[in-house]
Amino acid sequence: MSILVDATGLSCPQPVLLTMNKIKEMQHGQMMIQVDTDTSKENVSRAAQSQGWEVTNVQENDIGYQLTIKKDA
Amino acid sequence: MNKNYFSTRWGIIGVGAFIGVIAALLQKLGNPGNMGICVACFERDIAGAIGLHRAGVVQYMRPEIIGFVLGSLVAAYLFKEFRPRTGSAPIVRFVLGVFAMIGALVFLGCPWRALLRFAAGDANAIFGLLGLTGGIWIGTLFLKGGYNLGRAQKTYTSVGWLLPLTMIGFLALMLIFPQVKGEPKSGILFYSMKGPGMIHAPLLISLMVGLGIGFLAQRSRFCTMGAFRDLILFRQAHLFTGLLALVVFAFITNLALGQFHPGVAGQPVAHTMQIWNFGGMVLSGLAFALAGGCPGRQLFLAGEGDGDAAIFVMGMIVGAGFAHNFGLASSPKGVGPHGIAALVIGLLVCVFIGFTMRKK
């Protein structure tokens, strides 16, 4: 089961902060991040990639976007 | 998924460069010295135009600000990014806006103008930029400590439209009551007879430039505060490259136009009290960091439907009223009679907000 980080409604830089904290905690694996703006989608993707994580899926939904990021052990 | 070119590395550099060139050109076309674009100064001028303060030298309905919001609105609709939202501690954002403006007026410029002043050779701006960095650094400490203004909620489309509509109203007022040569008032609008408020590029040019920058900045997410914050907090230089491009291209354009005058004393709309140049921007930087965006970014966010950013903008405009009515704003002679007291109060308020609004 994947972990979901809920960053909806949060303004800069909270979505990135939440993602980075989770990345530090998990080190590797897979997680999903729910965001509600395009800016958050771009910022979270950029931050994840800078930590060596791969954005494997971006799913548009009613709230905004659900990103899936992954890093192999 | 649509690729947003403007939010790539080269996109943000391009937008920064564009703003740098255009800002220097606007000065050539009639805007005040080293003030081709200054979000704080221009909002302060708008406050003067509608009589929220009566400082005769800074009263003009700046079309650039109107354009910033409406340009962002157009971009947001065109790319389906208009998302009306609000409810993330609006009163806190208002108060932060007030003190961000007071800090900026102690220094005499927002982060954009600090960069433009620096790119035109004004050495006083270095102290402002150091202060800005310091204020943002304090903000990142709060962010690391769990500071968070809470979640915004999705809301009615009309909520997102209120600030853009206000701007359309301002533009309408300007067209109904245009500046009359030699008159300090036209209908209900105040105009400056001297000082920086009298110095401005033609209305149509200012508006078009504002629309263009608003459009590009919405697409690229250009933010001067975010540039420093992301560098300090995440060691991420994305936004900072845009900021550097702004400085480099403004510098080159200033050189080409004969607007580069290195020095300390006698710089346009600037004072040499370095400790307060520094201190003013510490307050401003901290307030911007706590509110999540520089004054330009708040306008662009308001254009894409962010009602909380709109409240911050209102706070800045009202803050300009306080700043000039209470003698808090500086002038080329130095700080205002109560500027230092306001600075201390502002810092205390920001620290109070930073310490008490935390989620563990």
| pLDDT tens digits, one per residue of A8-60 | 999 989 999 999 999 999 999 999 999 999 999 999 999 999 999 999 999 99
B329 to chain A nearest CA, in Å?
Answer: 29
Query: B157 CB near a chain A CB, below 8 Å?
Result: no
Inspect the interface and report whether the beta carbons of A37 and B229 lie closer than 8 Å.
Answer: no
User: In one letter, which amino acid is B124?
Assistant: N
A2 to chain B nearest CA, in Å?
Answer: 23
- The per-residue DSSP string of B127-157 comes to HHHHHHHHHHHHHHHHHHTTB-----EE--H
B159/B77 Cα distance (integer angstroms): 15
Query: B139 CB near a chain A CB, below 8 Å?
Result: no
For the cut 80, the answer to whether the pLDDT of residue A1 exceeds it is no
Q: How many Cβ atoms sit within 10 Å of the Cβ of residue B76?
A: 25
For the cut 90, the answer to whether the pLDDT of residue B84 exceeds it is yes
Give the pLDDT confidence score for residue B85 in this predicted structure: 97
- Which residues lie across from A6 on neighbouring strands? A34
Q: What is the pTM of this model?
A: 0.97
- Dihedral, B272, B107, B34, B72 alpha carbons, nearest 10: 170
Tell me whether the omega of the peptide bond preceding residue B196 falls within 30 degrees of 0, making it cis: no
B194/B182 Cα distance (integer angstroms): 10
Average pLDDT of chain B to the nearest whole number = 97
A25 to chain B nearest CA, in Å?
Answer: 15
Inspect the interface and report whether the beta carbons of A42 and B153 lie closer than 8 Å.
Answer: no
User: What's the Cα-to-Cα distance from B223 to each of A28, B55, B273, B330, B359, rounded to whole Å?
Assistant: 31, 29, 27, 25, 25
| pLDDT tens digits, one per residue of B231-282 | 999 999 999 999 999 999 999 999 999 999 999 999 999 999 999 999 999 9
A30/A7 Cα distance (integer angstroms): 16
CB pairs under 8 A between A and B: 55
Q: State the complex-level ipTM.
A: 0.94
User: In one letter, which amino acid is A22?
Assistant: K
Q: Which two tokens stand for residue B291?
A: 């509110």
Q: Which two tokens stand for residue B6?
A: 């403007």
Place of tokens 């936004």: B239
Query: B331 CB near a chain A CB, below 8 Å?
Result: no
Inspect the interface and report whether the beta carbons of B1 and A38 lie closer than 8 Å.
Answer: no
B101/B330 Cα distance (integer angstroms): 12
Nearest by CB: B151 against A9, A13, A58: A9
Write phi, then psi, for B260 (nearest 5 degrees): -95, 115
| pLDDT tens digits, one per residue of B92-151 | 999 999 999 999 999 999 999 999 999 999 999 999 999 999 999 999 999 999 999 999
Nearest by CB: A42 against B4, B88, B148: B4
Which residues does A contribute to its contact with B (CB < 8 Å)?
A: 8-14, 16-17, 20, 36-39, 42-43, 46-47, 50, 58, 64
DSSP collapsed to 3 states, B224-274: HHHHHHHHHHHCCCHHHHHHHHHHHHHHHHHHHHCCCCCECCCCCCCCCCH
Nearest by CB: A9 against B88, B143, B229: B88
Give the pLDDT confidence score for residue B1 in this predicted structure: 46
Place of tokens 């400790």: B275
Give chain B positions within 8 Å (CB) of A14: 148
Question: CA-based angle B310:B314:B315, to the nearest 5?
Answer: 115
